[in-house]
Amino acid sequence: MSDRIFLVSSSTDDKRAYHHGNLRQALLDAALRMLADVPAAKLSLRELARAAQVSHAAPYHYFLDRDDLIRAAGVEGMRRLLKAQADAVATCHGPRERLLALGKAYVRFAAREPHSFALVFDPQYCRPGEPSADMAPLITDNEQLLAGCVTQAQAAGVLPPVPPGPLATALWGTVHGLAQLTMAGHLDLTAAEAALDALLPSAPHPQ
């Protein structure tokens, strides 16, 4: 069945994109745009269809129900969080700069997209230790990105020579805490970034 029947009103380019199977992604993009203004608890399939300019039946062609849509939006949020960090790391040279870029991108994402960030870590939709088949590889990639930055920073003396696994966990916990404080309005982004700078002094640790 063609996606074209679900269209309500859209441009010719949109029709072509939907016809080629991009309607599911268009719905997820609309969900993420909605999350910029409202938390996941207020997402509505009817409002999503209206935002994507498709019929009210269209979302049910791709998602079983509202919870299925929200889980998929959480995966999309995680994908964007990972990309924000990876892109930030790729633009930097030097192990300290890459590690800082990683942390700042994480906090900036939470500040810019608080509802999407909250959904990524919502245990109702991403059960701790039991990620979905779509979420699991993204979590693994994020862990590997952090682990790579940590081991490079240790080799350069930016971080102390302790077991890298627990150190990576400690750094993630610290950055996540700053992100939570920032998204809740208890800390502004400038102060959070200054805290990250203070956490990683430029002087190398003795090996």
Mean pLDDT over residues 140-152, rounded? 97
Q: How many domains does the chain have?
A: 2
Domain-terminating residue out of 43, 63, 83: 63
Q: What is the pLDDT of residue 182?
A: 96
Whether 3 is covered by a domain: the verdict is no
2: pLDDT strictly greater than 50:
no
102 class by beta-carbon count within 10 Å (0-12 exposed, 13-18 middle, 19+ buried): buried
pTM: 0.84
Percent of the chain scored above 90 by pLDDT?
A: 60
Of the candidates 72, 30, 63, 62, the residue with the CA atom closest to the CA atom of residue 47:
30
Average pLDDT for the chain: 87
Whether 169 is covered by a domain: the verdict is yes
**Which domain does 43 fall in, by range?**
9-63
Q: What is the pLDDT of residue 84?
A: 98
146 and 206 part of one domain: yes
